[in-house]
Structure 1
Amino acid sequence: MSILGTTTAEAAGWQSRLVRLDGRGRLSYRADADGNEIPDFSHAGYRGGGVDLPEVPTVATVRPVEGDNTAHLQAAIDAVGALPLGPDGHRGALLLEAGTYPVAGTLRIPYSGVVLRGVGDGDDPAVSTIIRATGNTPVRRDVLVIGSGASTRWAGEVPGTRTDVTSDLVPVGSRTFSVADSSSYRPGDNVIIVHPCTAEWLAAVDHGATGADAGWTVGSQPITYNRFVTGISGKSITVDVPVYNHLDRSLATSTVHRWDRAGLVTESGVEDLRIMIEFAGDPDADEDHAWVAVRLRGLQDGWVTGCTFLHFAKAGVETNETTRVTVADCRALDPASVITGGMRYNFNSEGYSQQILFSDCYATKARHAFISNGTSSASGLVFLRGTSVGSLAASEGHRRWSQGMLWDNHREVDPATSITLGIYNRGDYGTGHGWATVHSVGWNCDMAGKKLVVQRPPTGQNYAIGCRGVITGDGPFDHPAGHIEGANRAGLNPGSLYQAQLADRLR
C-alpha cells in the first residue's frame, strides 16, 4: 500500500509563508524569530514512512470452532510464531476464514513477523471474518495485543553508552547534534534521547499552565525520542528523525544512550477483519466488556489495515511503546461506554508512541476521535485524511506536552461539540493536563463550521493553516493564539503537508 500522492506545485491556489513548494516539488521552510519551524512529519508510518506495506504469504488457515475460540486461535498464532524468521523478517500470515469467532479472552501476537489476516471486515460472517469479543474477563481487557505487551519505557540501556548532548540548542526539526563522546555509536544504532524535566525547563513553560491544578513537577515530563543513528562525524551525531521540541541546554542537559531493544517485536500486524465487542443495555452506560479492540505495545514496523472495530469502551486502536507503525483504512465505530473522561478515544496514541501514521481512518461517536494521550514521550503522530462523525469532544493533543502532531485533511461530519480540533492548553482538565501539545499542525482541515482552537505555548508554537470553520485562539483557557493562516481560504498548496514532505524527502 502506498500513500505517496501528487505534490507538484499548481499555478492556481496559495501557499503558506512557512512551508512553500517550488515548481520542482521541493519544500522550503521559514522559522519565526524564536526559531520555531514546522517540522518534517514524513517519517510517520511503517519503516519510517514511504515504504509500502509488505504482502506476507499465508502459511496457515483456521476456521471457527464451537464455543470460545480464544485457545483455538491462540494455538494457531503460536504455531506461526514458532516458524523461523525469513530474511525479510517475516514468518507468515495466519488466515482466519469467513465466519464468527467468539473470543472470551485476549489474543496475543508476541512474535516478530506474524500477521493475523481475515477475509473481510464486513458484518456478514458468510464473507467476512468477525471476532466477537464476549464477556468481561479480565475486566477492561484488550481483545488483541500485537507486540511484546511489556511496559519498558525504553529504559533498557546498553552499559557504557550514555553521553551528554553538548549542543547549546538543538532546534525543533533538527536531526544533528554534538555529544561529549561519540565513540560508542555506529550508524544503525537504536538510541534514546532524553531531555530531562528540570526546574528550569518547568519555569520556562510556566509549569504546564495547569489552571487551578498544581503545576507539573520536576521529573514528571521528560521529553523522550526513539531514533536510529544515520551518521557520525567526529562528536556530531545525525539521527533518522528530527526532534519535535527544542533541546535547550540552558534548561536541561539532554542525554543519549543505546537502547537494548529487549523484547521488541517487529514486522507484525493485523489485516481485513472485524472485531465486534458485545455489550448489554445502554451503549452510553455499559462498560462491562472489552475496552480496547487492538493494542499495539512493544512494536516497531507494524500495521493495522482494512479493519473495523465496534463497541469498545476506550479505543478501537491504541498504541503504547510503539514506533514506525501504519494504521490505515480502519473504522472505529459506535463506542459503548459512559460519555466521560478516559473513554471513547477511537484512535489513540498513549505513552512512548512515535512515528505513528493513521491514514484514511473513520470514527463515529467519539469523545476524542484522533488523539495523543501520551504526554511528553509521544511525538511524530500523523492523522492523514481522518473523518470523525458525530464527535462529542475534540480530536486533540490531550495532555502534558505531546509534540509534533499533524492533522492533515482531517474532516468533521455533524459534530455534537463546539470544539472539534484542539491544539491548545487544557489547563486543569483531567489531571493538570495543561499544555497538551506543541509544534503541532492542523493542515487543510474541515471543522464543519465548528471551532479549531490553536494556541501558542511558551518556548514553542502551534499552527492552523488552510483550515475551514471557526479558526481561533479562543479556547477554554486564555492563552495567546498560535499561528493562524489562510482560514476559510480554498486552494491551499500543497493540499497535503505529509504527502508533500514525504515526496520531498524521498527525492
Structure 2
Amino acid sequence: MLSGPVGGAWLALAGGRLVYGHDAQGNRVPDYSFAGYGGGGVPLPQAPVKVTVPAPGGGDMTATVQAAIDQVSALPPGSGGLRGAVQLSPGSYHIAGQLHLRTGGVVLRGAGSNASATTLAATGASVRTLITLGGTAQYTTVGAVAQVTDAYVPVGATTLTLSDATGLSVGDEVVVERPTTQAWIDALGMNGVWTPNWSLRSERRITAVQGDRVTLDVPLTTALEKQYTQATVYRYTFPRIDHVGIENLSLDGQAMTAAPDYATTFYNAAPWEFDAVQDSWISNVTWHHFGGSGQTALGPQSRRVSVLHTQALDMVTTDSSARSEAYLLQGQQNLVQDCAVTAPKVHAFSTYGRQSGPNVFSRCRATLVQETYDAGGHQRWGSGTLYDGVSVDGSLLLVNNGTRGSGHGWSDVNSTAYNCVTQQYAVQEPPTAHNWAFGCTGTLMTGSDGQVVSDGTHVTPDSLYVQQLHDRGKQ
C-alpha cells in the first residue's frame, strides 16, 4: 500500500496556481488537462461547407447523405487538415442503414440539435451503430525498443531513463508500454481474476532528450515499477484519421427498439462509435432513444477527442442484469464536457479498462428517471480518469469490482472525483496506486479507504480540469 501525502496536502492553491503534494514514492494527482482535442484547451476548428444536402423527403436518405460524405472525403485536405463540412438542411433524415466517416478532415454538420432543426432518425427494426468514424489499426514498432531502467517512475512523471536513447529525437511519437505480469496481478489481489495477457500502452511525444533521459509531453497515469514489470519505450506507427466531427444535430434511435432481439442486443443500439480516430470532436448534439454504449463509445483506439455540449436522453434499456453505458470513455486523452443523461438503469459516466488516460468527464449531470444511476470505472484498470464537477442522482464508485461481470477487478485507479454531487460515493485505495476525492457531497460509503479530502464540502478552485488548463496557459 502506498503512503499518503508527505509533508503537506495533495492539492493547494498558491498565487493562483495549483501546488501538488506527493507520497513517499513521488506519486501525485495527475494533470488531466491534456484530455481533449489537440491535447486540451485548443478551440475546435470551423470547417468550410463544401456540400449542402437538400431538405429530406420521406424516403431513406442513407445513400444521399453518404454520397455527400464521400464527395467531401475525396477533396484534398486544406488548412489544418480540414477537407470541409457536409451541411445537412433542417428536417428529419431517415437512415435505414449506417453512415461512415472513413477519411480525415470531414465534418457532418446539421442546422441545430433541437427536434425542429436537423435529425438523423433511424428506420427499420434492426439494432446497429448509426455512424461509424474511422477504422481499426494496430501498433507497429519502428526501430529499436529501449528498456526503462528507473527502478520506479511515479504517477505524474514525464521523465524516464532508458537503456539507450539513441535514435530518439524531440518530436518523436513513442509508446511507453507497461506489460502486465503475474507478480503485479498478485500484488493487486487479482490472482484468479485477471491473467497477464495485456499491456498498458501510453502514447506520448518526446519533448526533450538528454543523454539516455527522455521527457514526455503528457504525464504518466500508472507508475512503472521495475519490481513488477519491465517497461519499454519505442517509436511506432498507428494509422488514425483526424479532424472529423459531428456538429449541430440530433439523432433518434426509436425504430431500433422494435427489433425482435432488442432485449439482448440493445447494447449495440448506439448513435456512433469512434475507432482509430484522433484530434476530433462531437459538439452541440442531442440524441434520443438509444440503448447501447449510449453517447460515444470513444473506443480504445481513440485519442484526443472532445465531446462538448451534448445530451443522451430517454435511453431505452431492458431488465438485463447488466447495465449499458450512457457516456463511455476509452482510449487516451479524451474529454466529455457539459453533458446530460436521462435513462433508467445505466452506468451514466463510465470507462472500460486497460486504458492509460488521462480522460475527463467535466460538468456532466445524470438525472434520475426510474432507477438509480451509478458512475465510475467499469472494469480492469481504467487509469487516470477525472470526474470533475459531475452530478449523479445515484452512486459514484471508484472501487474494486472484484469478480463481478467478467472479472472486472480494480476499475478506477489514479482517478479523481472532484467537487462531485452524488447521493453516495465510494473511493477505494488500490494496492500500488491511489484514488482521490476532493470536495464531493453525498454519503461517503463504508470501505472508502482512498484519499478523501473535504468530504461533504466543495473545495476551490471550482474545476480541477479548468484550473489545470489555466496553469498550462490553455485557459
TM-score over 0.5 for the alignment?
A: yes
Change (3 A) 1:122 1:425: same
> Where is the strand percentage greater, Structure 1 or Structure 2?
2
User: What's the CA shift for 1:464?
Assistant: 1.1
User: What's the CA shift for 1:172?
Assistant: 0.3
User: What's the CA shift for 1:443?
Assistant: 0.4
2:474 matches 1:497: no
2:52 matches 1:69: no
2:46 matches 1:55: yes
Question: C-alpha separation between the residues in 1 aligned to 2:460 and 2:194?
Answer: 39
Q: Which moved further from structure 2: 460-469 or 29-38?
A: 29-38
Question: C-alpha separation between the residues in 1 aligned to 2:382 and 2:125?
Answer: 32
SS in 2 for 1:347: strand
Are 2:254 and 2:289, in contact at CA under 8 Å, matched by a contact in 1? yes
Tell me the residue number matched to 1:344.
324
2:150 matches 1:167: yes
Task: Give the counterpart letter for 2:428 in structure 1.
Answer: Q
Question: C-alpha separation between the residues in 2 aligned to 1:204 and 1:238?
Answer: 29
User: What's the CA shift for 1:341?
Assistant: 5.2
SS in 1 for 2:359: strand
Tell me the residue number matched to 2:162.
179
User: What's the CA shift for 1:33?
Assistant: 3.2
State percent identity of aligned pairs.
35
Task: Give the counterpart letter for 1:422 in structure 2.
Answer: L
Question: C-alpha separation between the residues in 2 aligned to 1:295 and 1:339?
Answer: 24
Tell me the residue number matched to 1:483.
451
Tell me the residue number matched to 2:244.
268
Change (3 A) 1:499 1:292: same
Are 2:282 and 2:306, in contact at CA under 8 Å, matched by a contact in 1? yes
Which residue of 371, 379, 397 corresponds with 1:399?
A: 379
Tell me the residue number matched to 1:432.
407
Q: Which moved further from structure 2: 312-321 or 64-73?
A: 64-73
Question: C-alpha separation between the residues in 2 aligned to 1:269 and 1:116?
Answer: 6
Question: C-alpha separation between the residues in 1 aligned to 2:124 and 2:166?
Answer: 54
**1:120-162 Cα distance to aligned partner (Å, 9 max, x none):** 11112xxx1100012244xx42111122x21x3x42222x232
1:411-422 matches, within 5 Å, as 411-412=391-392, 415=393, 417=394, 420-422=395-397
Structure 1 gaps, min length 5? 1-15, 209-213, 475-479
Change (3 A) 1:33 1:278: same
Are 1:74 and 1:108, in contact at CA under 8 Å, matched by a contact in 2? yes
Question: C-alpha separation between the residues in 2 aligned to 1:441 and 1:455?
Answer: 11
Which residue of 80, 86, 94 corresponds with 2:86?
A: 94
Q: For the aligned residues, what is the CA RMSD? A: 2.1
Tell me the residue number matched to 1:371.
350
User: What's the CA shift for 1:304?
Assistant: 0.3
Question: C-alpha separation between the residues in 2 aligned to 1:459 and 1:328?
Answer: 34
2:123 matches 1:144: no
Change (3 A) 1:473 1:171: farther
2:411 matches 1:446: no
SS in 1 for 2:203: strand
Tell me the residue number matched to 2:30.
39
Task: Give the counterpart letter for 1:394 in structure 2.
Answer: D
2:473 matches 1:506: yes
Task: Give the counterpart letter for 2:351 in structure 1.
Answer: S
Tell me the residue number matched to 1:468.
441
Task: Give the counterpart letter for 1:440 in structure 2.
Answer: S
User: What's the CA shift for 1:323?
Assistant: 0.5
Question: C-alpha separation between the residues in 1 aligned to 2:41 and 2:260?
Answer: 39
Tell me the residue number matched to 1:250.
227
Change (3 A) 1:70 1:281: closer
Are 1:341 and 1:430, in contact at CA under 8 Å, matched by a contact in 2? no
User: What's the CA shift for 1:36?
Assistant: 3.1
**1:173-229 Cα distance to aligned partner (Å, 9 max, x none):** 011101122222222222111110112211221226xxxxx3211224x22211112
Tell me the residue number matched to 1:123.
115
User: What's the CA shift for 1:393?
Assistant: 3.3
Change (3 A) 1:197 1:117: same
Tell me the residue number matched to 1:297.
275
**1:297-330 Cα distance to aligned partner (Å, 9 max, x none):** 1111000010011111111211111101110100
Question: C-alpha separation between the residues in 1 aligned to 2:180 and 2:421?
Answer: 36
User: What's the CA shift for 1:295?
Assistant: 1.0
Question: C-alpha separation between the residues in 2 aligned to 1:110 and 1:473?
Answer: 48
Change (3 A) 1:89 1:168: same
Tell me the residue number matched to 2:4.
none
Which residue of 364, 373, 389 corresponds with 1:409?
A: 389
Question: C-alpha separation between the residues in 1 aligned to 2:187 and 2:305?
Answer: 33
User: What's the CA shift for 1:342?
Assistant: 5.3
SS in 1 for 2:303: strand
Change (3 A) 1:425 1:294: same
Task: Give the counterpart letter for 1:504 in structure 2.
Answer: D
Are 1:335 and 1:344, in contact at CA under 8 Å, matched by a contact in 2? no
Are 1:136 and 1:288, in contact at CA under 8 Å, matched by a contact in 2? no
Task: Give the counterpart letter for 1:488 in structure 2.
Answer: G
Change (3 A) 1:356 1:283: farther
Are 1:471 and 1:484, in contact at CA under 8 Å, matched by a contact in 2? no
Task: Give the counterpart letter for 1:322 in structure 2.
Answer: S
2:216 matches 1:224: no
Change (3 A) 1:378 1:141: farther
Q: Which moved further from structure 2: 305-314 or 288-297?
A: 288-297
Are 2:125 and 2:258, in contact at CA under 8 Å, matched by a contact in 1? no
Are 2:263 and 2:320, in contact at CA under 8 Å, matched by a contact in 1? no
Tell me the residue number matched to 2:314.
334
Are 2:25 and 2:154, in contact at CA under 8 Å, matched by a contact in 1? no
SS in 1 for 2:358: strand
**1:22-50 Cα distance to aligned partner (Å, 9 max, x none):** 12x22111112343311100100000001
Moved over 4 A (4+): 280-290
Tell me the residue number matched to 1:134.
123
